[in-house]
């Protein structure tokens, strides 16, 4: 049911937070024929000039998150930089207005498989490697999310073979329908502690990437995996130790270190273009993810 407040306002959707993601959301929803408004606590948020140039008559409320506008909306799309704990957002939720982010909108519409990547460190590197591996294998792969192109902008072309999304904890907070073909949390270390009450709270948000029934890729060297492991789910591990079974790791052969799947050598550590132990781990994670869509790892 449409929500009309005492001011007579009504919007099909209100976006909270402008910037790159907010502009992408406004464009996407407007192109769906919806009556959309945007509100931001900043007087001059990023992308404001771009929004005005593209949508001259856009309804924009600046200087504070406008509660009247939120309460006059059928749904609220939250930009990643705005917390669910914001008092205006809490009020909207109390009034039964759905609140979600751009990744949730994307997941509802995407027709191709999704590989999803998160982690405190290395997620851009892994996202880029997976994209290159799948493209070299002939897949039409689109990359976006927290890196490069906002996710909704990827939907302008309806015929990709694969999406590779980098997802931050902020984006995962407001995503409910993600069912990735394969997903990974690379690592969890103290980050954004101004937003989360504890490291456990932060890790639990990261774990949302494993919702759905796709392949779980887990870093065996990380403590967080003990609270994630699910014997009913397809799971593959990567580690800087020796791999067991079909998992990914390192083996020594003739005094040289090889990245391997099980006993099968894939690439010599010294042949990697990216250097450092952390990037060995990133490469192993990328191989596991690419293998999930049948891309050769060698």
Asked whether the beta carbons of 252 and 232 are under 8 A apart, the reply is: no
Q: What is the pLDDT of residue 191?
A: 67
Q: How far apart are CA 53 and CA 60, in angstroms?
A: 13
| Active-site position among 146, 187, 247, 282 | 146
Counting as low any pLDDT under 70, the low residues of the chain are 1-7, 191-193
- CATH code of the domain containing 287: 3.40.1190.10
Radius of gyration, CA atoms only, the chain = 21
Judgement on whether residues 95 and 147 belong to the same structural domain of the protein:
no
**Containing domain of residue 85, as a range?**
13-100
Give the end of a domain, one of 61, 77, 100: 100
| Active-site position among 66, 123, 187, 207 | 123
Unique residue bearing structure tokens 């909108």: 105
E strands in 175-268: 182-185, 215-219, 235-238, 248-253, 256-261, 264-268
According to DSSP, the residues that pair with 115 across neighbouring strands are: 164, 182
Q: How far apart are CA 62 and CA 22, in angstroms?
A: 13
Judgement on whether residues 141 and 57 belong to the same structural domain of the protein:
no
Judgement on whether residues 180 and 225 belong to the same structural domain of the protein:
yes
Judgement on whether residues 40 and 109 belong to the same structural domain of the protein:
no
Mark whether 146 is an active-site residue.
Answer: yes
Cα–Cα nearest to 217, from 231, 234, 201: 234
Mark whether 121 is an active-site residue.
Answer: no
Judgement on whether residues 157 and 287 belong to the same structural domain of the protein:
yes
Judgement on whether residues 117 and 94 belong to the same structural domain of the protein:
no
Mark whether 66 is an active-site residue.
Answer: no
Q: Which structure tokens are listed for 123?
A: 């997620």
Q: What is the pLDDT of residue 200?
A: 84
| Active-site position among 90, 192, 200, 253 | 192
Judgement on whether residues 147 and 287 belong to the same structural domain of the protein:
yes
Asked whether the beta carbons of 98 and 75 are under 8 A apart, the reply is: yes
Count structural domains, the chain.
Answer: 2
Judgement on whether residues 113 and 205 belong to the same structural domain of the protein:
yes
């Amino acid at each position: 049911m449409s929500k009309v407040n005492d001011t007579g306002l009504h919007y099909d959707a209100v976006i909270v937070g402008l910037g790159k993601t907010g502009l992408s959301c406004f464009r996407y929803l407007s192109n769906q024929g919806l009556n959309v408004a945007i509100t931001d606590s900043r007087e001059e948020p990023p992308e404001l000039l771009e929004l005005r140039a593209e949508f001259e008559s856009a309804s924009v409320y600046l200087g504070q998150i406008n509660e009247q506008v939120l309460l006059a909306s059928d749904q609220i799309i939250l930009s990643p930089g705005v917390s669910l704990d914001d008092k205006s957002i809490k009020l909207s939720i109390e009034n039964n207005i759905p609140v979600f982010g751009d990744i949730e909108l994307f997941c509802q519409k995407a027709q191709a498989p999704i590989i999803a990547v998160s982690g405190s460190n290395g997620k851009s590197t892994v996202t880029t490697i997976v994209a290159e591996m799948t493209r070299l294998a002939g897949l039409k792969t689109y990359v976006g999310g927290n890196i490069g192109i906002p996710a909704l902008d990827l939907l302008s072309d309806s015929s990709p073979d694969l999406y590779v999304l980098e997802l931050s904890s902020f984006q995962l907070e407001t995503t409910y329908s993600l069912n990735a073909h394969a997903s990974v949390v690379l690592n969890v270390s103290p980050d954004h502690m101004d937003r989360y009450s504890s490291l456990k709270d932060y890790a639990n948000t990261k774990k949302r990437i494993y919702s759905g029934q796709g392949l779980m890729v887990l870093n065996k060297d990380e403590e967080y995996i003990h609270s994630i492991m699910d014997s009913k789910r397809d799971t593959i591990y990567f580690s800087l130790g020796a791999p067991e079974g079909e998992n990914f790791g390192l083996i020594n052969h003739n005094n040289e270190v090889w990245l391997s799947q099980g006993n099968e050598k894939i690439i010599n550590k010294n042949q990697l273009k990216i250097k450092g132990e952390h990037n060995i781990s990133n490469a192993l994670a990328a191989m596991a993810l690419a293998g999930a869509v049948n891309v050769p790892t060698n």
